[in-house]
Structure 1
Amino acid sequence: MFVLQLVNTHIKFLAFDFLTLKPIPHESTNFSLKGRHLSCTKTMSIVVSRDFKPNRFIKLDIDDGTSCIPCILWINQETSRHFSHRI
Structure 2
Amino acid sequence: MLVTAGDPARRTGGNLYNRHMLAALRRGGVRTTTVVLHDRRDATRLGELRAPLVLIDTIAASLAAPHLGRLRTRGSEVVTLA
TM-score interval, normalised by the smaller of the two chains: under 0.3
- Which structure is higher in helix share? 2
**Higher radius of gyration, 1 or 2:** 1
TM-score scaled by length of structure 2: 0.23
TM-score scaled by length of structure 1: 0.23
State the structure with bigger RCO (CA 8 A, min sep 6), 1 or 2: 2
